[in-house]
Structure 1
Amino acid sequence: MTTREKNLETLFKQHYRQMYRLATILLHDDAESKDIVHDVFAQLLASPTFELHDQTAAAFLLISVRNRCLNVIRNRKIQERVQRLYLLDQDTTIIPPDGGNEELKALSVGISQLMPPICREIIELHFRDGLTFREIAHRLGVSETTIYKHLRSALLQLREHLKRN
């Protein structure tokens, strides 16, 4: 074992608890916290030219853990947003209950009276024509996020309209 590897082993033994505790506080996940701490040391071990000095080692290691945790949190949020968009995009079937003529009439009135033209068009393209967010966005020349926001706003307005009626 080289002196560099011995130094890293010593740093690991000295700072592992602090690093793990910080990761656990930020992520609330034991396994992921351990992975992050181990990744920091694996990256240090893989970098043959990088040296840590005793005065700055603790700060560097904690900052490395914090940054990796923030990346994980950011990626989680992105995955959650994509999942919500995907689920909303997939749920396009509207099956009225038996005798749902009154509900359909109220829904139709709500769409024609409450919605601005862009929302009305998005609702029709998505639910009537069965287009995905990507297809609607391409057709209208806007982003998928814009389609999602318009559709979400329109659905909230329709829910309120149906509750009142």
Structure 2
Amino acid sequence: MKKTSHNSAPDPRLTNSFSEYAPRLKRFLAARLGNEIDAQDLAQEAYFRLCRVAQPDLIREPDAYLFRIASNLANEFLLKKNKQPFTVDIDTVGESLAEIDGMSFSDKLEQRAEIAELAKILDQLPPLYQAILLLRKRDGYSHREIAEKLNISHHTVHKYLKRALLRCRTLWVELET
């Protein structure tokens, strides 16, 4: 197997994967992080990490691998951010509390909290369940398209999607209680 050093050119499969999925990856990260600037930075870091993989020929699904890297980066980023002291700029408090984009500040906070809880739930799923669930619910792929993309049977997609949804519901109820 060939090894990729830091000085050699990245595997074209990986760079093509990033080019194809970059807009969706940035939206995914923006939803997790709550802003596009950090999403842009983490998308770029995910790409760099993808290019530094020692044995890129072992990656069967570069797009799924890229999203896993991005998800891990987002989790690390949020953990570090939550450990930093919270500061308030008194000049912007009034603006923040005002209605923005049709949602109140408290509604936005609640929505972000729910997104963070959902991210934690998704991270508890087995990788294949997570990939199937995200491809279906976030990306809108059909069962047949997911089966082809992941090289598994249509029946397996259906079965794992049901299990993933059941597990998510169970974990969500546990969080609520």
Q: TM tier, shorter chain?
A: 0.3 to 0.5
Structure label with greater radius of gyration: 1
More helix by share: 1
Q: What's the TM-score once normalised by structure 1's chain length?
A: 0.42
